Amino acid sequence: MTSLLILNGPNLNLLGQRQPEVYGHTTLAEIEDTCRQVAEDLGARVDCVQSNHEGVLIDAIHAARGLHDGIILNAGAYTHTSIALMDAISSAEIPMIELHLSNIHAREEFRRKSYIARVAVGQICGFGPEGYPLAMRAMMVHLAKISENQHDA
Q: Minimal distance in Å, beta carbon 11 to ligand DQA?
A: 5
Smallest CA-to-CA distance from 29 within 1, 63, 6, 2 is with 6
Of 25, 62, 80, 100, which residue is the catalytic one?
100
The sheet carrying 122-125 orders its strands as: 45-50, 3-8, 70-74, 96-100, 122-125
Of 23, 78, 115, 132, which residue is the catalytic one?
23
Q: Minimal distance in Å, beta carbon 18 to ligand DQA?
A: 8
Q: Which is nearer to ligand DQA, 26 or 45 (CB)?
A: 26
Q: Which is nearer to ligand DQA, 2 or 97 (CB)?
A: 97
Contact footprint for ligand DQA (CB under 6 A): 11, 74, 76-77, 79, 100-102, 104, 111
Residue 23 annotated to the active site? yes
* Residues present in the chain in total: 153
Residue 115 annotated to the active site? no
Distance CA 107, CA 32 (A): 25
Give the C-alpha distances (Å, rounded to integers) separating 15 from 10, 25, 30: 11, 7, 10
Residues with catalytic function: 23, 100
